[in-house]
Amino acid sequence: MRRRHRAAAPMLVLLTLALIGVLYAAAGSATSAQASSDARGANAELIKQGQQLFAEGCSSCHGLGAQGGPEAPTLIGVGSAAVDFQVSTGRMPLAAPGAQAPQKPVIYNDEEIAALAAFVASLGPGPQIPTDEEINYQDADLAEGGELFRTNCSQCHNFTGEGGALSNGAYAPNLMNATPRQIYEAMLTGPENMPVFSNETLTPENKRAIIKYIQHMDEQPDYGGWGIGSLGPVTEGLFIWVIGIGLMIGAAVWIGARVR
Amino acid sequence: MSVMNKLGEQAEFLDDRLTVANWGKRNLRKVFPEHWTFMFGEMALYSFIIVLLSGIYLTLWFKPSMNEVVYNGTYTPLNGIEMSEAYKSTLDISFDVRGGLLMRQIHHWGAMLFIASMTIHMMRVFFTGAFRKPREINWTIGVLLLTMGFVEGFAGYSLPDDLLSGTGLRIAEGIMLSIPVVGTYISFFAFGGEFPGDEFISRLYGIHILLIPGIILGLITAHMLIVWYQKHTQYPGKGKTNDNVVGYPFMPVYMAKAGGFFFIVFGITVFLSGVATINPIWSYGPYMPDQITAGSQPDWYMGWLEGALRAMPNWETVIAGHTISWNVFIPGAIVLGVIIQLMIIYPWLEAKVTGDKREHHLLDRPRNAPTRTAIGAMSLSFYMLLLIGGGNDVIGTQFDISINAITWFIRIGIIVIPPIVFVITKRICLSLQRADREKLMHGRETGTIMRLPHGEFIEVHAPLSENEKAVILSKTDITPLPWPEKTDADGVRDPSYKKDHRWARLSHWWYTDNIAKPTAAELATAEEHIRHSAAEGAPIIAHRASLEPEGGVLHDPAAAAAEAEEGKEPVGK
């Protein structure tokens, strides 16, 4: 009887394991590829385009792999919502470092923004751009939105959403020009100094109510006449001193003029 | 004629029963001097009347109650929200009561005008020295009126129980709490327990519509009676002295002017209330202790205290487990108290330093009291800086400045800037005095340069008008307090020497660099000199008068007539 090599048995086990491994891997990749083949097929081009745009416009600060740098945070796992918010409001790309990224004219078109968002989303899971359905606020509760706005938003953004000051030159921006999608994304991702209002803190329904209230404040007429910027008593004081006292003194000079 | 007879009958009817003819003759013909700055006090009085009238209208609907109700009304964004009855009734006044929003805005704009008018009135009285003897008491009443105005305004701001009201009250509570030892007790007493409680609005209501308006009315009455009794001060001018009043009689001139001015003030207030929003309480929402809005500010007259609060560094002391919050107590309680007291004692303080115990019915020109004017300007700069600090967040966002930078600017600025303003103002006043003296000594500059036959160029000076001379010469002669003697003639040591010496030093500082008024002899010489100079320049002045341009453009009347005849446009028209 021919004697087997003493390493034959372990080798056989190893070969079997390797074979099973290869087969399993092949089968696995085949099933997952099948499941997401549609998305990937459509997305692959977009991600590639996004990567190209990212390398040109963003990588100098965020790094070629979006891993972040000394001046900029990592974008792995921030999700597409953050990208859409930052780029569609013109905050990114940043012109210069400062207290806060200011709003600027948007330099990418919608397709390019979608590509950038797709690329960043492909790096790791994060909050997704809300769908049209998610931001459809028409049926939301206006009064509840007001209540939520006053509890969560007005402390920084002011009672009519005109914005307000934060420390060291940072500020809460005016909400009157923001689109419903941008407002939703801001709550979801918490840009700059803004806290994140996740869907557990403020449910999508709450978010829609807040959006409805903000839209309403924008459209609501000034019931009492000119609103003087809706900035509260500071502008009212300026108004009464400049216009009110100005008119009064004018009248006093007129009446008090010497009788000739 | 028959109208006069009718009036006569009426007057006789009254006189027969009340014997008012003599009283009326004396008072209705009372003479008041004329100047537009004398109308600031009237502005304050009239805006107070407007606020009183619009306030009565508001009381018909306002419910001073902190009972919780659920709103279901015209303003849909608040439907289903819980709020106090006070806030709900304010919403109803704004949206459902006919003319309610206009009345609310008249009430609020009127209140702002009331305090602003008092402020400029006070500035006029201060800078012209109208508070001097014998009017110190009326000055004190004025300061109390201003203070009552602050309190009344703050109470009104707090009543609607909107988000701003509650925030303001929270700060008021914080100031109460900051008072060492008794703060907690005061706060619990005022709010009937823990803030906000359910008592405060109704308590404040009584204060706002009864107590303080009553005090203000009483003080205004006293203020005006004293003005009437003491006679009004007047600006210096030809024929105006400390012993007369030059102007027009109350009836009919001032009755008409004052009556007309009331309607102008009313009209301006209603106009402002019709075109500009004030305190849109529906946007602020009802007060909830867990809510706040950016841009929370008091009305402007409290803004300087807000600024003091915002600028104050965060200093606290802990003594035996009790915290003394200097960061709130100093700006919230001490600053206001000290400044009001300084304002009240100022007339006596100044009289003590200047040693001036005379009666004054002729107003000072601000330049002739440089130190007082400088103190006033310095105080205004201090006030303005705090006011800017009170709006630091709005200024920060509107002008793109860091709020921290503004706060540090205010912290350093309130110490550094007022003294600089003092020095600059004083130097400007002294320069103006020098210019006045120059005018007295050499006459008014005509701007005409004349060449004399031997080639010399001179500027022609003209004599001052009688009025101008009277105005400049109205500067009162002053001598600082004398330096005290250490010992009297018998060699006995004066026990109050040190104190007197300090006052004398202050007095000399007060009069530093004063430009002396020319003496009678100097004036006589100057007069001669001016007459000579004017005579010398007379030919050229006469020549210039003959060339006097018409309508501001040089033109030849003969040429213009000729051109007009030709149907052309005349030159220079």
pLDDT tens profile B263-318? 999 999 999 999 999 999 999 999 999 999 998 999 999 999 999 999 999 999 99
pLDDT tens profile A40-76? 566 788 999 999 999 998 999 999 888 988 888 999 9
Measured between alpha carbons, how far is B49 from B60 in angstroms, rounded to an integer? 18
Residue B330 burial (10 A CB sphere; 0-12, 13-18, 19+)? middle
Is it the case that residue B380 has pLDDT exceeding 90? yes
Contact B291 A155 (CB under 8 A): yes
Identity of the residue in B34, B77, B300 whose CB atom sits nearest the CB atom of A142: B77
Q: How far is B287 from chain A (nearest CA, A)?
A: 10
Do the domain assignments include residue B27? no
Residue A259 confidence class, pLDDT cut points 50, 70, 90: low
What residues of B are in contact with residue A237 (Cβ under 8 Å)? 112, 299-300, 303
- Crossing angle for the helix pair B403-442 and B520-546, nearest 10 degrees? 90
ipTM of this complex: 0.87
Measured between alpha carbons, how far is B78 from B88 in angstroms, rounded to an integer? 10
| Residue ranges of domains in chain A | 42-123, 142-222
Contact A251 B261 (CB under 8 A): yes
Measured between alpha carbons, how far is B439 from B429 in angstroms, rounded to an integer? 15
Contact A252 B36 (CB under 8 A): yes
| Mutate which: B293, B383, B400, vs A, most A CBs within 10 A | B293
Contact A240 B116 (CB under 8 A): yes
- Assess A1–B contact: CB distance below 8 Å, yes or no: no
Which pLDDT value is given to residue B573? 36
Identity of the residue in B36, B116, B294 whose CB atom sits nearest the CB atom of A241: B116
Contact A240 B293 (CB under 8 A): no
Which pLDDT value is given to residue B555? 52
Residue B518 confidence class, pLDDT cut points 50, 70, 90: confident
Which pLDDT value is given to residue B432? 95
Measured between alpha carbons, how far is A198 from B114 in angstroms, rounded to an integer? 49
Between B62 and B30, the higher pLDDT residue = B62
- Fold agreement (A42-123, A142-222): yes
Which pLDDT value is given to residue B572? 41
pLDDT tens profile B27-42? 888 889 989 999 999 9
Query: What is the SS3 assignment for B197?
Result: coil
- Assess B105–A contact: CB distance below 8 Å, yes or no: yes
Residue A186 confidence class, pLDDT cut points 50, 70, 90: very high
Q: How far is A59 from chain B (nearest CA, A)?
A: 29
Query: What is the SS3 assignment for B496?
Result: coil
Do the domain assignments include residue B13? no
Which pLDDT value is given to residue B146? 97
Mean pLDDT of B515-520: 87
Spell out the long-range contacts of B533-539 with Cβ–Cβ below 8 A and sequence spacing 24 or more.
B533/B442, B533/B443, B533/B458, B533/B460, B533/B461, B534/B443, B534/B460, B534/B461, B534/B462, B534/B463, B536/B450, B536/B458, B536/B460, B537/B446, B537/B448, B537/B450, B537/B458, B537/B460, B537/B461, B537/B462
Q: Do A161 and A112 touch, CB atoms closer than 8 A?
A: no
**How high does pLDDT run on average in chain B?**
90
Q: Do A90 and A103 touch, CB atoms closer than 8 A?
A: yes
What residues of B are in contact with residue A220 (Cβ under 8 Å)? 77
Contact B265 A234 (CB under 8 A): no
Which pLDDT value is given to residue A40? 56
* Protein fold of A42-123: Cytochrome Bc1 Complex; Chain D, domain 2 (1.10.760)
How many domains would you assign to chain B?
1
Is it the case that residue A209 has pLDDT exceeding 50? yes
What residues of B are in contact with residue A176 (Cβ under 8 Å)? none
Is it the case that residue B532 has pLDDT exceeding 50? yes
| Mutate which: A141, A142, A255, A259, vs B, most B CBs within 10 A | A255
Is it the case that residue A32 has pLDDT exceeding 60? no
- Assess B393–A contact: CB distance below 8 Å, yes or no: yes
Contacts of B34 (CB under 8 A, 6+ apart): A256, A258, A259, B247, B248
Which pLDDT value is given to residue A35? 47
Is it the case that residue B391 has pLDDT exceeding 70? yes
Contact A223 B276 (CB under 8 A): no
What residues of B are in contact with residue A213 (Cβ under 8 Å)? 77
Residue whose token pair is 């205290």: B305
In A, minimum Cα distance to B253 occurs at A259
- Assess A242–B contact: CB distance below 8 Å, yes or no: no
Cα A244 to Cα A249, B55, B169, distances in angstroms: 9, 20, 27
Is it the case that residue B560 has pLDDT exceeding 70? no
pLDDT tens profile A61-71? 999 888 988 88
Do the domain assignments include residue B544? no
DSSP B28-46: HT-EE---GGGGHHHHHHH
Q: How far is A82 from chain B (nearest CA, A)?
A: 24
Q: Is B100 left (phi over 0), alpha (psi -120 to 50) or beta?
A: alpha
Q: What is the CATH number of the domain that holds B236?
A: 1.20.810.10
Do the domain assignments include residue B567? no
Residue B565 confidence class, pLDDT cut points 50, 70, 90: low
Residue B73 confidence class, pLDDT cut points 50, 70, 90: very high
- Assess B384–A contact: CB distance below 8 Å, yes or no: no
Residue B251 CB neighbour total at 10 angstroms: 13
Which segment of A17-21, B175-179, B430-434 scores lowest on mean pLDDT? A17-21
Contact A236 B279 (CB under 8 A): yes
DSSP B234: B
Token pair of B145, please? 């009126």
* Protein fold of A142-222: Cytochrome Bc1 Complex; Chain D, domain 2 (1.10.760)
Residue B447 confidence class, pLDDT cut points 50, 70, 90: confident
Domain that holds residue B268: 33-326
